[in-house]
Structure 1
Amino acid sequence: MATEQLFTADAYLREATARVLAHEERGVILDRTVLYARSGGQPGDSGALAWSGGEVAVPEAIKGEEGAIIHTLAPGAVPPPIGAEVTVTLDWARRHRHMRMHTTMHLLCSVLPGIYATGNQIGAEKSRLDFDLPEPPSKEWFGEKLNALIAGDHPVGASWITEAELDANPQLVRTLSVQPPRGAGRVRLVRIGTEAQQVDLQPCGGTHVRSTGEIGRVEVTKLESKGRQNRRIHFILAE
């Protein structure tokens, strides 16, 4: 009972019609959706479902079994009937901040070549990324590097490779804590820059902006030590 993930092909799609496949204890499963399900450190999207005779808020989309996406409902909310056609609408302002934050994380990886990320958390107001890095540069250094890449307005796009190709190129994976989505036989690569002038390339199932200029300025607010070598980098969207 897999849900078609419309956001994978178009992260800017804000609403779509869908069919209710099932009710689940935590919410509703649709045949397709524009809402990203929580995973990889990125929160699940929020939004709403509307149908003939009703409307209900979706606090967060989460992963279900066998590729299903569950549209969670508040306790006591009345779900749309099974088989009903619904319009699923995305809370765009919140998602767009997640997209800007997530793309910034890829830029952080690009300024630390060969260094693995060990954890992350994306938020609409603040985010953080951990690295296996005993002696990090200053927060001002990170801010300068990130904002220069953002100002460069590099394109952001996606392509696909097979799981076998990823296995043959393990250096593409930059995270130790989050592994790329597998099981479908192919893996999505997110590229920042062009093939000729590549800024970053790594597997990722999340949502991103179309170009780095869309992020706007960011501010690195704090560096923290989280163990002998683990360093946590906190940042916010400054505009």
Structure 2
Amino acid sequence: MAQTEALFRDDAYLRDGAARVVGINDRGGILLDRTMFYATSGGQPGDTGRLTREDGSTIEIAATVTGETKDEIIHVPAAEQVLPELGETLQLAIDWERRFKLMRMHTACHLLSVICPFPITGASVNEADSRVDFDLPDANVTKEDVTIRLMELVNGNHPVFTRWISEEELESNPGLVKSKNVRPPRGAGRIRLVCIGEEAVVDSQPCGGTHVASTAEVGEIHIGKIEKKGRENRRFRIRFGSLPAS
């Protein structure tokens, strides 16, 4: 099994760089020794972009996924792409405009979980319309009120950063995990936290995704809709831009 150095875990702002081909799987997926392409996980879709070969030709990447483990990152070419050779050095470039929207949205989802401190039952990060589902029997909140509180956090320009803790530290502080049904993967000995605010005063939770460096970079967002999904489930939809006039 090939392991890839996941550069995005330490620097979400890397847009391009060089990497060496270490494997091609039986479906034509490309494995590299290192990558800034984020692989689909935790509700955030994987990156798209292109790989440029030594002869100048390009390979369009339609998706990035994980293999048997989170450390096996597979770059999935679009249809009818010529595959590179093992050992070849490629120049990588992600679709930065798309990635940055996903980073902004993912951070917004974390902010929403601060405003709505209820168990999370599901989430999906997308470029224009993301969602977070909460175990919330009585939704006595309005999209207008939640939007105001979201924008207060955004405009607070709070720093967003990551740090690592041991699995034992997570066990001793189970409140860090906000998901009702999903737990962070174990076995690596450490857990990555995404923190918001000085000394993580706003939020701290396990997450492997990519985020902006400051809440101000999220920009203007609003809650487009609060939907009832079952007896004890409410779905909050986050969208870019200001709240439309009712």
User: Which TM-score band (shorter chain)?
Assistant: over 0.9
**Matched-pair contact (CA < 8 Å) for 2:44–2:102:** yes
Contact 1:40 1:178 in 2 (8 A): no
* Cα 1:163–1:151 shift into 2, 3 Å: same
Deviation at 1:88, TM superposition (A): 1.1
Q: Please report how far the alpha carbon of residue 179 of structure 1 lies from its aligned counterpart in structure 2 after TM superposition.
A: 2.6
TM-score calculated relative to the size of structure 1: 0.96
The count of corresponding residues between Structure 1 and Structure 2 is: 237
Residue identity matched to 1:62: V
Q: Is the 8 A contact 1:162 1:186 kept in 2?
A: yes
| Aligned residue runs from structure 1 range 144-163, under 5 A | 144-163=148-167
Alignment partner of 1:110 out of 95, 111, 114: 114
Q: Give structure 2 stretches of 5+ with no counterpart.
A: none
- Match of 2:202, SS state, is strand
Aligned-partner residue type, residue 10 of structure 1 = D
Kindly indicate whether residue 127 of structure 2 is the aligned counterpart of residue 124 of structure 1. Answer: yes
1:27 matched residue in structure 2: 29
| Alpha-carbon distance, 1:178 to partner | 3.6
Identity of aligned residues (%): 47
Q: Tell me the CA shift for residue 237 of structure 1.
A: 1.2
In 2, the alpha carbon distance for the partners of 1:183 and 1:139 equals 40
| Equivalence for 1:187 | 191
- Amino acid paired to 2:41: S
5+ long unaligned stretches in structure 1: none
The 1:77/1:177 distance shift into structure 2, 3 A limit, reads farther
RMSD: 1.2
Distance 2:169 2:238 in 1: 33
Structure 2: how far apart are the matches of 1:58 and 1:175? 31
The letter for the 2-side match of 1:48 is R
Q: Provide TM-score, normalisation by structure 2.
A: 0.93
**Alpha-carbon distance in structure 1 between the residues aligned to 2:28 and 2:230:** 36
Distance (whole Å) between structure 1 residues aligned to residue 60 and residue 180 of structure 2: 35
**Greater Cα offset, 180-189 or 222-231:** 180-189
Aligned to 1:100: 104
Question: Does residue 211 of structure 1 match 2:211?
Answer: no
